[in-house]
């Protein structure tokens, strides 16, 4: 049996392996913490990637800021944490496929990495705008000028300042970039090949966001910048010269694959105001501007005795036109030839999505929908996004069975929009909401109404919105499983046994923390093995031992003490892909000895793991 690692994957190991496959000669060995490990010889790698060495003070095109390298290391560093289920704060826990996760989204993204790698069709985030307001992610990311200069390395070897600091604007962006950069790096890996990410932002950081997104997703994978009109009127702001009325929705694809659904004009939305003996029809002008490659004499023949007007040509060829003419499909409207399009012949048309979003709700409609209609509280949550905007993005970026992730969930508008759209088109979309349990302000309406943090608002919104949607369509999944980020279920000895004296082993023989439940262990194992957190879980009993059956026998786990041969045999006979037990759960040494032989007999392909 193999021992589970019970921590998130180390991105550096994977990166070293990938580089090693391309450039085997760059792999070297170093001693780290007394152990020999593989590493990359960057001098050799630089030589492999260029016909000259790019180092030192050579000028190059780049976008950088203080501690950028640390933010890269932060994204790659493994963590020993887990997600603990919270049934009492969930809705329909056993049946739902939706997730609500409380915790720092950087750590949560790391835990989701192995399980949801390449499975998320669309990510939507509405990160802090860096507007100067207080925020738990430090929404006002300004640092002092002296601190910025030190971090920027603008001192010589003797500590003398090299030049006067003129980068005053830069020090207001550094921490914001360090906050968002590693999160976007992790998020990219979760997207499907044709996955897409939408990021809401305003004027303060849209330029910097575009630069880091170009770096992470690739400049060639930039799809577009959608302008959402968030206000219908200007706002009188003291000393302001311009009143912003739009926010930006930056859109990137995971790859160059087609990421967005093209806009559909459905026949159901069309009107057919005319009729004749053949049925109801609409009309379309068949002339087109006669210019460039389209300036063709062969497209200027007469139809019903009429030739195209000056500077125009027909959109159809003469052979097609003659056939339509015989079928009485043209009419002459005061010298303009129009084609009759009958309802029974009409087809849906597909066109590119406009980047100007004019009728996708507003801050006013969002406030009304969330605060007033759902909660009956005027100022519960400030500046929520309207579900109309999210539904519009979902229609562009998802299919009916897609998984959608929002790791700056806020008031959970994305979850609300997913449920509404599913109700509209009978979809089976699933959402994953991630939100830090940021405390509500002392004198806020939220706290006065009992909501101690943003997560409480988000979960309650989903409950209330879910009931509303359920009233319109009973087949929609309006539940969610709640999880909370916590330290690992395992004691330190599990990860670092060499650091403990043998005499202490009796006191730490049980390597699982005392306050953790079997269900806590199960979900950490699911994260470790890459099993979806929304998977169906059946709890059964075998010889009085509790057994978890996940995803119809894909994973079977038993964490009880005194497990006998009969229990091991019964589980092996179910032939799961994974079978997991506690290292100390075998009733006797004989059971432990027979364990592998039992599985070799009844299910030799089962992957056996212990914790």
Strands 81-85 and 481-487: antiparallel
508 occurs within a structural domain: yes
Question: DSSP class of residue 602?
Answer: H
SS (H, E, C) 66-125: CCHHHHHHHHHCCCCEEEEECHHHCECCCCCCCEEEECCHHHHHHHHHHHHCCCEEEEEE
Dist CA 575 CA 578 (whole Å): 9
For 499-547, the pLDDT digits (tens) are 555 544 444 457 889 999 999 999 999 999 999 999 999 999 999 999 9
At residue 497 the predicted structure's pLDDT band, cuts being 50, 70 and 90, is low
594 occurs within a structural domain: yes
Q: Which of 61, 82, 105 is the last residue of a domain?
A: 61
Residue 345 confidence (pLDDT): 85
Q: Which of 286, 317, 344 is the last residue of a domain?
A: 344
Q: What is the dihedral of CA 158, 162, 165, 170, to 10 degrees?
A: -80
Dist CA 86 CA 488 (whole Å): 16
Question: DSSP class of residue 313?
Answer: E
Note whether 556 and 574 are within 8 A (CB): yes
Tokens for 1?
A: 């049996």
Query: For residue 385, which of 404, 400, 370 has the smallest C-alpha distance?
Result: 370
For 199-240, the pLDDT digits (tens) are 999 988 899 999 999 999 998 899 999 999 998 777 776 677
Helices (H), 471-533: 492-495, 518-529
575 occurs within a structural domain: yes
What is the number of domains present in the chain? 3
Q: What is the mean pLDDT of the chain?
A: 85
What's the average model confidence in pLDDT over 15-34? 78
pLDDT of residue 164 exceeding 50, the answer is no
Tokens for 115?
A: 């399980």
What's the average model confidence in pLDDT over 175-204? 93
Residue 127 confidence (pLDDT): 93
Identify the domain containing residue 54 by its residue range: 7-61
More confident residue, 164 or 213: 213
539 occurs within a structural domain: yes
Dist CA 430 CA 415 (whole Å): 9
597 occurs within a structural domain: yes
Dist CA 224 CA 353 (whole Å): 10
Residue 103 confidence (pLDDT): 95
Dist CA 557 CA 550 (whole Å): 8
What's the average model confidence in pLDDT over 290-307? 77
Residue by residue, DSSP assigns 351-364 as: EPPPSEE-SS--HH
Lowest pLDDT segment from 17-31, 402-416, 444-458: 17-31
Residue by residue, DSSP assigns 40-66 as: E-HHHHHHHH-SS---TT--------T
Q: Which of 308, 329, 344 is the last residue of a domain?
A: 344
At residue 303 the predicted structure's pLDDT band, cuts being 50, 70 and 90, is very high
Percent above pLDDT 70 for the chain: 84
More confident residue, 434 or 345: 434
Cα 309–Cα 315–Cα 321 angle in degrees, nearest 5: 95
What's the average model confidence in pLDDT over 320-336? 92
Query: For residue 115, which of 345, 405, 347 has the smallest C-alpha distance?
Result: 405
More confident residue, 133 or 512: 512
Residue 526 confidence (pLDDT): 96
28 occurs within a structural domain: yes
What's the average model confidence in pLDDT over 408-426? 96
Residue 161 confidence (pLDDT): 47
What's the average model confidence in pLDDT over 173-183? 87
Dist CA 493 CA 509 (whole Å): 9
At residue 107 the predicted structure's pLDDT band, cuts being 50, 70 and 90, is very high
19 occurs within a structural domain: yes
Residue 144 confidence (pLDDT): 58
Dist CA 55 CA 58 (whole Å): 6
pLDDT of residue 72 exceeding 50, the answer is yes
11 occurs within a structural domain: yes
Residue 536 confidence (pLDDT): 97
Dist CA 217 CA 254 (whole Å): 6
How remote is the C-alpha of 346 from its chain's centroid? Answer: 37
**In the chain, count of helices (H) and strands (E)?**
17, 26
Note whether 225 and 355 are within 8 A (CB): yes
Question: DSSP class of residue 441?
Answer: P
SS (H, E, C) 124-158: EECCCCCCCCCCCCCCCCCCCHHHHHHHHCCECCC
pLDDT of residue 291 exceeding 70, the answer is no
Note whether 459 and 466 are within 8 A (CB): no
pLDDT of residue 166 exceeding 50, the answer is no
Percent above pLDDT 90 for the chain: 53
């Amino acid at each position: 049996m193999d021992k589970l690692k019970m921590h998130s994957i180390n991105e550096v190991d994977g990166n070293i392996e990938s580089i090693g496959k391309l450039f085997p000669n760059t792999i070297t060995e170093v001693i780290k913490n007394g152990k020999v490990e593989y590493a990359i010889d960057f001098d050799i790698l630089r030589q492999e990637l260029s016909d000259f060495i790019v180092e030192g003070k050579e000028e190059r095109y780049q976008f950088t800021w203080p501690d950028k390298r640390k933010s890269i290391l932060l994204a790659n560093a493994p963590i020993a944490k887990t997600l603990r289920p919270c049934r009492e704060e969930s809705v329909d826990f056993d049946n739902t496929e939706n997730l609500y996760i409380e915790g720092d989204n950087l750590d949560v993204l790391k835990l989701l990495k192995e399980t949801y790698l390449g499975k998320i069709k669309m990510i939507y985030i509405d990160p802090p705008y860096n507007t100067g307001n207080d925020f738990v992610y430090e929404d006002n990311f300004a640092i002092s000028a002296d601190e910025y200069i030190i971090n920027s390395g603008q001192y010589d070897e003797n500590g003398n300042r090299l030049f006067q600091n003129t980068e005053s604007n830069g020090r207001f962006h550094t921490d914001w970039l360090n906050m968002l950069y590693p999160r976007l790096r992790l998020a990219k890996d979760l997207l499907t090949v044709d996955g897409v990410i939408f990021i809401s932002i305003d004027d303060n950081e849209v330029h910097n966001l575009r630069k880091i997104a170009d770096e992470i997703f690739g400049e060639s994978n930039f799809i577009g910048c959608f302008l959402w009109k968030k206000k219908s009127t200007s706002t009188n702001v003291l000393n302001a010269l311009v009143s912003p009325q739009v926010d930006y929705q930056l859109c990137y694809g995971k790859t160059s694959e087609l990421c967005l659904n093209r806009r559909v004009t459905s026949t159901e939305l069309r009107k057919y105001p005319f009729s004749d003996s053949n049925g109801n029809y609409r009309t379309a002008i068949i002339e087109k501007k006669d210019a460039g490659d389209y300036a063709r004499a062969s497209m200027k023949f007469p139809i019903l005795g009429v030739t195209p007007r000056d500077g125009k040509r027909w959109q159809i060829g003469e052979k097609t036109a003659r056939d339509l003419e015989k079928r009485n499909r043209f009419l002459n409207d005061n010298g303009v030839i129009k084609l009759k399009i009958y309802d029974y012949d009409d087809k849906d048309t597909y066109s590119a999505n406009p980047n100007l979003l004019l009728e996708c709700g507003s801050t006013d409609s969002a406030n009304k929908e969330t605060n007033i209609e759902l909660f009956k509280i005027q100022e519960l949550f400030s500046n929520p996004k309207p579900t109309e905007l999210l539904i519009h993005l979902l229609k562009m970026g998802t299919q009916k069975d897609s998984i959608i992730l929002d790791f700056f969930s806020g008031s959970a508008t994305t979850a609300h929009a997913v449920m509404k759209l599913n109700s509209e088109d009978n979809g089976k979309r699933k959402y994953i909401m991630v939100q830090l349990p940021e405390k509500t302000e002392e004198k806020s309406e939220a706290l006065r109404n009992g909501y101690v943090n943003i997560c409480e608002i988000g979960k309650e919104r989903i409950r209330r919105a879910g009931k509303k949607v359920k009233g319109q369509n009973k087949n929609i999944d309006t539940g969610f499983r709640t999880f909370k980020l916590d330290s690992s279920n395992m004691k330190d000895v599990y990860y670092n046994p060499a650091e403990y004296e043998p005499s202490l082993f009796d006191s730490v023989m049980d390597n699982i923390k005392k306050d953790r439940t079997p269900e806590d262990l199960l979900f950490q194992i699911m994260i470790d093995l890459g099993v979806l957190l929304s998977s169906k879980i059946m709890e059964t009993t075998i010889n009085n031992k509790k057994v978890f059956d996940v995803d119809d026998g894909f994973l079977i786990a038993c964490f009880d003490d005194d497990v006998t041969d009969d229990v091991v045999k019964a589980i092996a006979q179910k032939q799961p892909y994974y079978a997991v037990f506690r290292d100390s759960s075998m009733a006797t040494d004989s059971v432990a000895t027979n364990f592998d032989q039992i599985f070799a007999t009844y299910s030799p392909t089962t992957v056996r793991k212990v914790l």
